[in-house]
Amino acid sequence: MKPESPSDLYIVSSSPHTHSGESVERIMLDVLIALAPAFLAACWFFRLEALRLTFVCVAACLLTEWLCRKAMGRARAISDLSATVTGVLLAFNLPPALPTWMAVAGSVFSIAIAKQVFGGLGYNPFNPALAGRAFMLISFTGAMTTWSQSTWLQKIAGAGADAVTTATPLGFAKEALKSGQALPVFNTGLLSDFFIGNMNGCIGETSALALLLGAAYLLYRKVITWHIPAAYLLTVLAYAVILSLASPATAIPPLFHLLSGGLILGAFFMATDMVTTPVTRRGMLIFGIGCGIITMVIRTVKTGAYPEGVSFAILIMNAFTPLINRATRNRVFGTKK
Amino acid sequence: MSLLTELTRGIIKENPTFRLVLGMCPTLALTTSLENALGMGVACIFVLICSNAAISALRNIIPSAVRIPCYIVVIAAFVQVVDLLMQAYTPALAQSLGIFIPLIVVNCIILGRAEAYASKNGVLYSAVDGLGMGIGFTLSLSLMATIREFLGSGSVTLWGDLAIKNIHSHAMVLVVLPAGGFVTLGLILAFINHVQAVAARKRGESAPLPLELDCRHCALCKVGE
């Protein structure tokens, strides 16, 4: 806490003695600012659907948070903006045409079950937005994998691809993998479309450009460190390079792996959640590598049900976070190894 | 100690599922539909009454050193009866309950009542105790099953075609999956404990947690210190 009055400065106590000035509110506000470019991109690509989902999720999260805190007789909570961040992140993880009631159900699950049941912010073992998404993906599988029409696949497959134009790049690749057909050519001309966000996907995950802008801001503000995103992305890249060298015919090119699905959003905004990820630098690297491997395994194993694995990968590694923290505990200064 | 208090004790005060937290396997696994829950509950009522009565009648000739194997033999005999009866007369239900009918043998409620009650009380009281516990178990399962089936598949099935289908079209599949069973059970337990804590506060007492839910005997975290 900041010293309130001069007399507080003379209090003798154990360390820490200085306060960085950071607060939950400020950090959450920074995350919201960093998500703003992606929100604008979502509004550009998905129009009113993005606005609707974001508004519904944020409102439902705030209301649930307020009701839970009131029912449990706990102190204020909604002014710390954490529920707002959860709402925005959850909305970013939803496909554009999702019915409103499903978004509300997911928001309620995120806040009530994944967060407040454990004691609120700081006590939740799993990222609330991702837990909400996992709940929805399992509960409403059909609606959660219905994508609006986009132009990207017509560029790949030509005019005769009407039947499959409503798949995500990863979904399409998984189908090809399962049926044993050759993959369509992912030509490099498509890379710019992928980078800007002109493809099917959840509303906030498509535009790598906007997400990277926000991530740069978070890194600049020191809200996140480079360890988890770098370890995560490099692991995915390395895995994808090995796959494409091993079987060039059936593997998606490595750069497309990086840019498709929720990888950028997950690596910078959800795998870096302070509450649910390791606190040590070494632990963060382990966490990132683990996320990368699980993501790629889910994406590329032929028998798997899901084309995208970012949310499950981060949730699984969330479960390992206490173990990683314990295993990588730093030596206390002055003690022997 | 009247017969009526013996009967109601198992339903509310010592409800096996929500107060004693016993018999969790069938509670979590078979509450995906009301039909399954009722089938399991009735089977358990039968086994509880019969095994409690039989063990109570035999309580003076069972050597205490080998009492657990003796109880198991008695219980297993009645479970076998239920298993064969259900396979003969309600094959569809027996099919959907599957392995959980033979597993009634190791249901903690039944062995628990044999050890804690039937081995110390008369035949009539033991049978009534079994009936009360069985009804409590059935009601608990039915409550959970109704919630889960209603939320998870949008219908409530009492028996075969005797069902209300498509009450709503907002089914949440996760609720009928195992994870949903844990979440539902946890929320119900939390609600019951909350109600009891409020009632105790009104009486001016502090509410003691049931032993199974008390953090103090567990070393995993440090809440109780």
- Tens of pLDDT, residue by residue over B197-221, are 888 888 877 766 655 556 655 555 5
CA torsion sign for B188, A108, A271, A266 is positive
**How much is the pLDDT for A105?**
94
- Write out the H or E segment, with its range, that includes residue B164: strand B162-164
Maximum CA pair distance of chain A?
Answer: 77
The answer to which of A91-100, A148-157, A315-324, B179-188 has the lowest mean pLDDT is A148-157
Using an 8 Å Cβ cutoff, are A206 and A199 in contact? yes
Sort A204 into a burial class: Cβ within 10 Å, 0-12 / 13-18 / 19+.
buried
Cβ <8 Å between B174 and A135: yes
**How much is the pLDDT for B74?**
93
Cβ <8 Å between A105 and B186: no
As a whole number of Å, the CA-based R_g of chain A is 21
Using an 8 Å Cβ cutoff, are B27 and B17 in contact? yes
**How much is the pLDDT for B198?**
85
Q: CA-to-CA distance for A52 and A57, rounded, in angstroms?
A: 9
CA torsion sign for A62, A65, A69, A74 is negative
Phi and psi (nearest 5°) for A293? -65, -45
The pLDDT of A238-264, averaged and rounded, is 86
Note the residue count of chain A: 337
Residues of chain A with pLDDT > 70, as a percent, come to: 88
Tens-digit pLDDT profile for residues B58-116: 999 999 899 999 999 999 999 999 999 999 998 988 988 888 899 999 888 899 889 88
Tens-digit pLDDT profile for residues B22-36: 888 889 988 988 999
Most confident of A169-173, B129-133, B194-198: B129-133
Cβ <8 Å between B172 and A140: yes
- List the helix and strand counts (H, then E) for chain A: 15, 0
Q: How many CB atoms lie within 10 A of CB A12?
A: 5
- Write out the H or E segment, with its range, that includes residue B163: strand B162-164
Q: Give the best residue of A135, A312, A315 to mutate against chain B (max B CB count within 10 A).
A: A135
Using an 8 Å Cβ cutoff, are B16 and B137 in contact? yes
The answer to which of A26-40, A159-173, A280-294, B41-55 has the lowest mean pLDDT is A159-173
Q: CA-to-CA distance for A255 and B131, rounded, in angstroms?
A: 66
**How much is the pLDDT for A159?**
43
B97-112: buried (b, 16+ CB within 10 Å) or exposed (e) per residue?
Answer: beebbeebbebebbbe
Q: How many CA atoms lie within 13 A of A72 on its CB side?
A: 18
Cβ <8 Å between B173 and A140: yes
Q: Give the best residue of A139, A323, A326 to mutate against chain B (max B CB count within 10 A).
A: A139
Judged by DSSP in three states, B156 sits in: strand
Judged by DSSP in three states, B162 sits in: strand
Using an 8 Å Cβ cutoff, are B156 and B150 in contact? yes
A164 CA to chain B: closest CA distance, Å? 26
Q: Looking at beta carbons, which residues of chain B come within 8 Å of A140? A: 172-173
**Spatial CB neighbours of B136, under 8 Å, sequence gap ≥ 6:** B10, B11, B12, B14, B15, B16, B17
| pLDDT of A149 above 60 | no
**How much is the pLDDT for A162?**
45
Cβ <8 Å between A140 and B186: no
**How much is the pLDDT for A73?**
80
| pLDDT of A311 above 80 | yes
Q: CA-to-CA distance for A309 and A304, rounded, in angstroms?
A: 10
Tens-digit pLDDT profile for residues A160-190: 444 345 577 787 777 777 777 766 666 666 7
The pLDDT of B137-165, averaged and rounded, is 86
**Spatial CB neighbours of A48, under 8 Å, sequence gap ≥ 6:** none
**Spatial CB neighbours of B118, under 8 Å, sequence gap ≥ 6:** B51, B52, B53, B55, B56, B59, B126, B129, B130
Q: What is the mean pLDDT of chain B?
A: 86
Nearest to B175 by CA among B14, B6, B48, B33: B33
Q: CA-to-CA distance for A217 and A195, rounded, in angstroms?
A: 18
Q: Where are the domains of chain B?
A: 3-176
The owner of tokens 């198992």 is: B10
Q: Give the best residue of B172, B222, B223 to mutate against chain A (max A CB count within 10 A).
A: B172
The pLDDT of A139-143, averaged and rounded, is 87
**B218 Cβ under 8 Å from any chain A Cβ:** no
**How much is the pLDDT for A161?**
46
Q: Looking at beta carbons, which residues of chain A come within 8 Å of B173? A: 138-141
Confidence of residue A56 (pLDDT cuts 50, 70, 90): very high
Q: Looking at beta carbons, which residues of chain B come within 8 Å of A135? A: 172, 174
Using an 8 Å Cβ cutoff, are A291 and A313 in contact? yes
Q: Left (φ > 0), alpha (ψ -120 to 50) or beta: where does B177 sit?
A: beta
**Spatial CB neighbours of A226, under 8 Å, sequence gap ≥ 6:** A219
Q: What is the mean pLDDT of chain A?
A: 85
Most confident of A61-70, A250-259, B196-205: A61-70
**How much is the pLDDT for A163?**
39
Tens-digit pLDDT profile for residues A1-36: 455 666 666 667 777 777 878 888 999 999 999 999
Judged by DSSP in three states, B5 sits in: helix
Phi and psi (nearest 5°) for A76? -50, 150
Confidence of residue B225 (pLDDT cuts 50, 70, 90): very low
Q: How far is CA B35 from the centre of its chain?
A: 15
**B215 Cβ under 8 Å from any chain A Cβ:** no
**How much is the pLDDT for B213?**
58
Please provide the DSSP assignment of A243-292 as one string: HHHH-TTTSPPHHHHHHSTTHHHIIIIITT-TTTS-SSHHHHHHHHHHHH
| pLDDT of A255 above 50 | yes
Using an 8 Å Cβ cutoff, are B105 and B76 in contact? yes
Tens-digit pLDDT profile for residues A312-330: 999 999 999 999 999 998 8
Structure tokens at B61: 């000739």
Judged by DSSP in three states, B107 sits in: coil
The answer to which of A87-91, A283-287, B15-19 has the lowest mean pLDDT is B15-19
| pLDDT of A96 above 90 | no
The pTM of the full predicted model, rounded to 2 decimals, is 0.85
Cβ <8 Å between B183 and A141: no
**How much is the pLDDT for A270?**
93
Confidence of residue B5 (pLDDT cuts 50, 70, 90): confident
Please tell me which residue, A76 or A319, carries the higher pLDDT value.
Answer: A319
- Cis, peptide link before residue A16, omega less than 30° from 0: yes
Structure tokens at A316: 């699984």
